Amino acid sequence: MQLVVGVADLKVSNQATDVLVTHALGSCIGVAIYDPVAKVGGILHYMLPESGLDPRKAQENPFMFADTGIPRLFRECYQLGAQKQRLRVKVAGGSQVLGGQEHFQIGRRNYAALRKIFLKNNVLVDTEDVGGVNARTLFLEVATGKVWVRIFGQNNREL
């Protein structure tokens, strides 16, 4: 079954029939993690780098921010049996959707926040498809752990 991960949302699964998908990864970042032994995977679609920008919103929806959403993604996968040392991590998004004219550089800031969190927690990214000017769709197949990206008008590309 296809499970859609909305904007500022997170889904995890250990059901072999599930495919997790998140659309509209422009300046937002999609983080897909997968444990090939436990067959557990999850996707987080976060919008902004730091919850300090709006603590009230972070309380209401921690998936909106990198610093609150990423730890929740890992914890929820651990609850289904995933182990940190086995996780495969793949990342997509962080575009400058206005062709680099975006004043706030949200895509770059989102990616920098992710790198900082992963560095602090000794998490390595296996593959990524970030930057540029195109929005992406990110898929994770729970049965196999395959992750792929679709950019409008292009073929799917496995990460």
Active site residues: 28
CA atoms in the 13 A half-sphere facing the CB of 45: 22
Pairing of strands 40-46, 9-13: antiparallel
Element (DSSP H or E) covering residue 120: helix 106-120
Q: From CA 131, how far away is CA 27, in angstroms rounded? A: 8
